[in-house]
């Protein structure tokens, strides 16, 4: 059996009792370590599990899935995923390969950012589709996120933006030369996300949002030191929310007074918060 085990969001103790049982009895334990991260190192996991954990990078999962699945027809293999196995990335290729090999697959659910974002006080019912934001480069500024936000905004909904993670990436030069040298990991910040959003609005000018649109910058959601900052996109362009992971919620115009009561305590600046609320959200109440 291949078990996809959700680890939750913060540390080693966010695994479920059921997930821990699977990990303890599995033949081998892999940790998927390129689409998200916990706030603790592999050593903490190994210490709770009382056994070694094999870190699986993108290359291993994409090119050596048969190695991961070896023996899974007879024994249990645990594949650990930060958050929920279905959260932001589904490991469809691994699952499909397992099915080809007639290996049964089971998932152990856990919290994901998609529901933990409720800690902002925003109602999960008021969110539209979730959107990804990738790091822009000088020549590559994918703006499809803008259309997705426009769609959500057109029906008044909030948009949760999940921010890019670059782990074990090669520079173009190293890739060209076949050198297995990797760049240091990079995690997009709320600040970078807000800047990229305004850059694309400036370019497209469809007024999907503006410098004074309200958003909530979120850091380390689900951890003890989670942090929220509610401000205008312009304010969030200059905010430092500390260590990763970050995400951002752009408020939809249908935001409710009850949500306001909850999020105003995260306001970066009460005055601009009230102004923007009144301008964009106050009219539907």
- State how far the Cα of 108 lies from the Cα of 241, in Å rounded to an integer: 31
Check binding of 114 to a copy of itself (CB under 8 A): yes
Is residue 174 part of the contact set for a copy of itself (CB under 8 A)? no
User: Is 163 annotated as ligand-binding?
Assistant: yes
* Residue 197: CB minimum distance to a copy of itself, A: 18
Q: Do 216 and 251 touch, CB atoms closer than 8 A?
A: yes
Distance CA 269, CA 262 (A): 15
When binding is defined by CB under 8 A, the residue of 65, 107, 196, 247 that contacts a copy of itself is 107
Q: Which contiguous run of DSSP H or E holds residue 247?
A: strand 246-250
In the set 26, 29, 56, 116, which binds a copy of itself (CB under 8 A)? 116
Whether cis (ω within 30° of 0) applies to the bond prior to 245 is yes
State yes or no: residue 206 binds a copy of itself (CB under 8 A): no
Q: Judge residue 262's burial from the number of C-beta atoms within 10 Å of its C-beta, 0-12 exposed, 13-18 middle, 19 or more buried.
A: middle
Say whether residue 24 binds a copy of itself (CB under 8 A): no
- Cα 197 from Cα 237, distance rounded (Å): 10
Binding to a copy of itself by residue 118, rule CB under 8 A? yes
How far out from the chain centre does Cα 219 lie?
Answer: 11
Q: Is 130 in the site for a copy of itself (CB under 8 A)?
A: yes
Per the DSSP assignment, residues forming a β-bridge with 133 are 163
Report whether 94 belongs to an annotated binding site.
Answer: no
Q: Is 86 in the site for a copy of itself (CB under 8 A)?
A: yes
Residue 190's nearest CA partner among 79, 106, 110, 266 is: 266
φ and ψ at residue 40, rounded to 5 degrees: -130, 160
Instruction: Quote the tokens at residue 117.
Output: 């974002």
Nearer Cβ to a copy of itself (130/192) = 130
Taking contact as CB under 8 A, which single stretch among the options 17-25, 58-66, 183-191, 239-247 is the one that binds a copy of itself? 17-25
Q: Is 143 in the site for a copy of itself (CB under 8 A)?
A: no
Binding residues for S-adenosyl-L-methionine: 9, 84, 87, 112-113, 163, 221, 246
Residues contributing to the site for a copy of itself (CB under 8 A): 6, 8-9, 11-18, 20-21, 48, 84-88, 90, 92, 107, 109-112, 114-119, 121, 123-132, 151-152, 154-155, 157, 222, 258, 262
Binding residues: 9, 84, 87, 112-113, 163, 221, 246
């Amino acid at each position: 059996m291949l078990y996809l085990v959700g680890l939750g969001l913060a540390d080693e103790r966010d695994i479920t009792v059921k997930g821990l049982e699977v990990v303890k009895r599995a033949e081998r334990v892999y940790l998927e370590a390129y689409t998200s991260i916990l706030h603790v190192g592999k050593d903490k996991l190994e210490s709770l599990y009382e056994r070694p954990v094999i870190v699986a990078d993108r290359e291993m999962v994409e090119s050596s899935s048969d190695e991961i699945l070896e023996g899974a027809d007879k024994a249990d293999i645990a594949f650990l995923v930060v958050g929920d196995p279905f959260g932001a990335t589904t490991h469809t290729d691994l699952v499909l390969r397992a099915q080809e090999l007639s290996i049964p697959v089971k998932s152990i659910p856990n919290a994901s950012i998609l529901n933990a974002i409720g800690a902002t006080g925003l109602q999960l019912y008021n969110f539209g589709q979730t959107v990804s934001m990738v790091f822009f480069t000088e020549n590559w500024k994918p703006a499809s996120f803008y259309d997705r936000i426009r769609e959500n905004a057109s029906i008044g909904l909030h948009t949760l933006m999940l921010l890019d993670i670059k782990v074990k990436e090669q520079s173009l030069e190293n890739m060209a030369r076949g050198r297995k040298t990797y760049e240091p990991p990079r995690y997009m910040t709320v600040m970078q996300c807000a800047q990229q959003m305004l850059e694309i609005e400036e370019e497209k000018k469809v007024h999907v949002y503006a410098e004074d649109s309200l958003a909530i910058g979120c850091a380390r959601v689900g951890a003890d030191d989670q942090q929220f900052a509610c401000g205008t996109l312009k304010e969030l362009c200059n905010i430092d929310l500390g260590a990763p992971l970050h995400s951002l919620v752009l408020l939809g115009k249908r935001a409710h007074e009850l949500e306001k009561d909850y999020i105003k305590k995260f306001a970066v600046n009460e005055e601009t918060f009230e102004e923007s609320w009144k301008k964009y959200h106050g009219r539907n109440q």
